[in-house]
Structure 1
Amino acid sequence: MSRPRLGEIAIQVLWNRLLSVLEEQAQTPVRTAFSTAAREAGDISAGVFDTEGRMLAQAVTGTPGHVNSMARSVAHFLAEFPLATLRPGDVLITNDPWKGTGHLFDLTVVTPTFRGGRAVALFACTTHVVDIGGIGQTPEGRQVFHEGLSIPLMHLSREGRMNEDLLRIVRANVREPVQVVGDIYALAACNDRGGARLLAMMEEYGLEDLDGLGTEIVGRSRRAMAEAIGRLPKGGWSASMTIDGMEAPVELAATLTIGEDSIHVDYAGTSGVSPYAIDCPLCYTEACTAFGVECVVAPFVPNNGGTLDAITVTAPPGSIVNAPHPAAVFSRPIIGHMLPDVVYGCLHQALPETVPAEGTSNLWNLGLAAGHGLTGAGGAAWTPFNVTTFHSGGAGARPRQDGLSATPFPSGVRNVPVEVTEAIMPFVVWRKSLRPGSGGPGRQRGGLGQIMEIGSREDAPFGIFARFERVRFPTRGREGGLPGKPGRLGLRSGAVLRSKGFQVVPKGDRLVVEMPGGGGFGDPFARDPALVARDVRYGYLGSEEARSDYGVALAADGSVDQAETARLRARRG
């Protein structure tokens, strides 16, 4: 007997209800997780999948690298554990970088949902845990084996009974067992909540399965993407970017081809794999690339299997964006988060005045730690700790608006309030402020980075797992916009630290982190002088920078000196 076709009103009602199910799913780990990464920064993802493993919808909370790679990971779970072999109460888990979301620190959990004894959907979620053992949160690893505990695709729970052997192994291999195991339980609860709310929705609306709704969601999204792509100019465009890298600068090169109903991005010409942990598995390359394309081409089309199928990605095997096992991949965001900017370099040629200038892109997260062997032999009075606190530099200027300051893109994670970190860790954040003059000059100014100064509350050293970009090669502007100011890592005593690798802050000294600014967009001398005066008044830049970078002279009261400004701009012209 054929299933009656869902009507337009029913589809819209069920779609909205499904989104509310997902938001409730995603809020579960936010409320129950132990680590600040999930609880405060929202570094999680959550989604619902049909029985074929296609993502139907995602929660708003989450990062594109997590969400889009998780969207492909469920197929790997189903290949290993066919749906017919799973039972109510089964929960699956992995942190395989090539089948999950790109590095060992991300745990992905998948749970089937049953109705009437039959699987009707799967829920998946991911979070970044504070530790997974091994060498720690540093790009200094040489193989994935250095980077910590690897969990192959396996059961976290069988028919409601947790895999205590696995949890014992986790506890024995990580520096923060309470936080990590607590987050694993939070992920399992996340999917349980999603499944319970979905079953309530299906009961309310008399749905025996999600097949009809899923087909409509995926099909409509794919058609919407095809229509959006169909309106674009056709052809191929190439762009490249040089970034700091680890042992040597890295070249990221892409060619983007717009077809009739799909877009293809090829990374031929990109640097080969690094001997250090900045390599990026293809799954994460695909995820970040697709997000960059979607933001420009069809930002209002829901992200799901249909949308993602319109974007294909290839990269030479052995390149830094298609790193093979057993390459070290912990710092894969160093590469992945730059890829939307590379894609935008292509799209800017096809769609002028549409994409922003380059932003910091790389997260300037502070991975701080102390403990025996890490920061010295130690003493009984020293408090061992391991924490990740999320922060960011400036985003690139947009064609018609300034760049956002201290805002992560493409990650989207939230800032972790310093008060939260100080409450649970033995250090003080003495300063956290915007970094004046760091935004690239332009008709639209790049977003500002920020400055943080951190010291221990104890008479003890502490360490930082540095993994920062935009120190040697700053963000670039577009259409005459100037670069943002590069980042810098150092000590209050004056020493300059490396931008990557674990380093110790001596006791009595403080860590000073100066985050990069975003690139500017358009000729700086075309910026409205009133906006320049406002930026000086707000402390975003100095009066001398206003004069040299923007050709704007200010009077003693801070107002624009119209005659001198006209003279400066005319002389430059």
Structure 2
Amino acid sequence: MNDDLTAEILRNALCTAAEEASIVVVRSAYSTFIVEGADAAAAVLDVRGRLIAHSTSTAIIQCASLRSALPYLLRRFPAAEMTPGDVFLMNDVYQGGIHANDLLVFRPVFAEGEAAYFTGTLIHVADLSGLSAGGMASDATDVFLEGVQLPPVRIATAEGLVDDVVAILAANSRTPDKLVGDLRALIAGANVAARRVAELIDERFADGVAAYLADTELRMRASLRAIPDGTYTGAYTLDDGLTVRVAVTLADGAATLDFTGTDGQVPLPVNSGFSQTLGGVMYAIRCYVDPALPLNEGCFAPLDVVLPEGSLVHCTRPYPGGGRFGTVAAAEEAIFAALTSALPGRGVAASGILQGFSMSGVDRPWLHMSFDLGGMGAGADRDGPDATGALFGGGRNIIPQAEPVEARLPVRIEAVELIPDSGGDGTRRGGLGTRTVIRLLEDARVDTRGDRLHRPPPGAEGGLPGRAGGYFRELPDGTREPLDTKATRQPLRAGESFVLETSGGGGYGPPPGRAEADRARDLADGRTTRDS
């Protein structure tokens, strides 16, 4: 068989194994947010901790988490001591995890009697203790308020689940049945991928994987060489007044991204664990390289990412890390700002980002977790897309659909719509934010976590900022009251509505430069109004 053809078959087989694992997890999960929103990720790795393949139809922002956590697992459980059927579990944000509710599962794959490869799966489970019923502890001052912390533990063997560990997890969940169901789904996904990888292993497999990763690295370096060598700086400030700073240095097909100068960690859930920041870095860099590159270790190899310990982008114990996505998005914006000076004409205004929330029952246990996505900032040559969640790095739509949510929970979703005039004006208009209205049929509590609400996404090159979003309580008579943008257990009564509005993206270029034909189309499409 032609070597190039063999390599292509192997590449697709590995990517399919990771993708199939993520699909198995989604289809097997018990939590509505997972089943309907597909917030999952899966990967194939080797015993050296290298990422061989990653699911891409799910959240790309998780691309570094399984890769970052595996070395910590191997320190606790050496590969030589693992046996067939072992499955391991962890969530520690300081050891490559994300936050308490994001569980990471690993299963070794054996070659010639040794653990040589690993499959991994990751989802946000229904509930695992902490201040918030959905893991959105937006007013946590330390990690212990965010939920149960799990160092690497053995969760299953060839004999089945380790019942004592499962019992401890279930006892620390407000929805134990869903938690255990989600855990079984994670293991099922890892098992499926492990079988697929085992079927591929032969005497040529290791060499084939090495060649595959080397080819990706070669192509990644070629893409980086297309960006002029030099050092470029950028920064972005969160609602809390904290700033992420980066210096991007490009030299001969390699890049150093140094976040020295970023503000220090704070006792608020805005810090990011290092793996999530690294995922954001990869997302941002991939916006400037060959989009056909497969997502594997070859993409990481040319990058040297400096994340100072004890900073917003690399929190340390006991600082909380659950609210990381505002900081991760700020890191991405800082990289975009830096590379704009390297690539004139490829600039972009700031975007509205993911705004999360969770609702839980007061009189009986039920839980709804979701988010909506802001408008993307306009670019030098295009308007910003509406409601895209550009900086979250999603693959498939990860917002649960209205009908399944209404069928499972005591809520009625009365509106999911674009907000006219929310995109920043400019020569190129920012993308529109969204409005979601959820009527409560039972008393509930709501947890909120958002950013770019007090400091709306700024425009670029003379463009105007997007319209700021927010969280609101709407009374039956239509009166609207603002909710805190980062808080837990805010009361909502039956008959009241929860309103989530996301921020629009910033505009690019001075507004007088916008073509009259574009303004007429905006008005005809309802993106703008005559009043604006």
> In structure 1, what residue type is equivalent to 2:255?
I
Contact 2:236 2:331 in 1 (8 A): no
Contact 2:441 2:494 in 1 (8 A): no
Distance, in Å, in 2 between the alignment partners of 1:140 and 1:123 is: 34
Deviation at 1:383, TM superposition (A): 3.4
* Map of 2:511 onto structure 1: 524
2:244 aligned with 1:252, yes or no? yes
Distance, in Å, in 1 between the alignment partners of 2:91 and 2:78 is: 19
* Map of 2:424 onto structure 1: 440
* Map of 1:499 onto structure 2: 485
* Map of 2:184 onto structure 1: 185
Of 467-476 and 348-357, deviating more is 348-357
* Map of 1:101 onto structure 2: 97
Distance, in Å, in 1 between the alignment partners of 2:231 and 2:379 is: 23
* Map of 2:28 onto structure 1: 32
1:160-309 mapped onto 2 (5 Å cutoff): 160-202=159-201, 207-208=202-203, 210-245=205-240, 249-309=241-301
2:349 aligned with 1:357, yes or no? yes
* Map of 1:551 onto structure 2: none
> In structure 2, what residue type is equivalent to 1:430?
E
CA-to-partner distance for each residue in 1:489-533, whole Å, 9 max, x for gaps?
A: 222222221111022124432222221101112233222322221
Deviation at 1:8, TM superposition (A): 2.0
Distance, in Å, in 1 between the alignment partners of 2:527 and 2:159 is: 55
> In structure 1, what residue type is equivalent to 2:170?
R
Change (3 A) 1:139 1:209: farther
Contact 2:351 2:391 in 1 (8 A): no
* Map of 1:564 onto structure 2: none
* Map of 1:46 onto structure 2: 42
Contact 1:476 1:519 in 2 (8 A): yes
Q: 1:514 aligns with which of 501, 504, 512?
A: 501
Contact 2:248 2:256 in 1 (8 A): yes
**Partner SS state of residue 472, structure 2:** strand
CA-to-partner distance for each residue in 1:155-211, whole Å, 9 max, x for gaps?
A: 011224211111101111011111111111111000111122223344xxxx24631
* Map of 1:341 onto structure 2: 333
Distance, in Å, in 2 between the alignment partners of 1:538 and 1:229 is: 39
Change (3 A) 1:132 1:6: farther
Deviation at 1:251, TM superposition (A): 1.4
2:109 aligned with 1:113, yes or no? yes
> In structure 2, what residue type is equivalent to 1:424?
R
* Map of 1:390 onto structure 2: 371
Distance, in Å, in 1 between the alignment partners of 2:150 and 2:275 is: 17
CA-to-partner distance for each residue in 1:409-458, whole Å, 9 max, x for gaps?
A: 23215221122211111111122111111011122221111111222113
**Partner SS state of residue 287, structure 2:** helix
Percent of aligned pairs sharing the same letter? 29
* Map of 1:65 onto structure 2: 61
Distance, in Å, in 2 between the alignment partners of 1:179 and 1:139 is: 22
Q: 1:430 aligns with which of 414, 437, 447?
A: 414
Q: 2:308 aligns with which of 297, 304, 316?
A: 316
Q: 1:483 aligns with which of 465, 477, 483?
A: 465
Distance, in Å, in 1 between the alignment partners of 2:259 and 2:389 is: 24
> In structure 2, what residue type is equivalent to 1:185?
R
Distance, in Å, in 1 between the alignment partners of 2:57 and 2:185 is: 15
Distance, in Å, in 1 between the alignment partners of 2:493 and 2:30 is: 29
* Map of 2:157 onto structure 1: 158
TM-score, length of structure 2 as denominator length: 0.94
2:324 aligned with 1:332, yes or no? yes
Structure 2 unmatched ranges of 5 or more: none
Q: 2:359 aligns with which of 356, 364, 368?
A: 368
Of 59-68 and 430-439, deviating more is 59-68
Contact 2:440 2:498 in 1 (8 A): no
CA-to-partner distance for each residue in 1:120-178, whole Å, 9 max, x for gaps?
A: 42101111112110111222111111111111101011224211111101111011111
Contact 1:120 1:209 in 2 (8 A): no
Contact 1:358 1:395 in 2 (8 A): yes
Larger RCO, structure (CA 8 Å, separation 6 or more): 2
Could you list the structure 1 runs, at least 4 aligned residues long, displaced by more than 6 angstroms after superposition.
Answer: none
1:454-465 mapped onto 2 (5 Å cutoff): 454-458=438-442, 460=443, 462-465=444-447
Contact 2:238 2:326 in 1 (8 A): no
Of 298-307 and 463-472, deviating more is 298-307
Structure 1 unmatched ranges of 5 or more: 372-381, 546-573
Distance, in Å, in 1 between the alignment partners of 2:468 and 2:389 is: 16
CA-to-partner distance for each residue in 1:220-270, whole Å, 9 max, x for gaps?
A: 11111222222221111112122212xxx2112111111222111122222
* Map of 1:533 onto structure 2: 520
Distance, in Å, in 2 between the alignment partners of 1:183 and 1:80 is: 24
Distance, in Å, in 2 between the alignment partners of 1:130 and 1:521 is: 40
Contact 1:370 1:385 in 2 (8 A): yes
Deviation at 1:101, TM superposition (A): 2.8
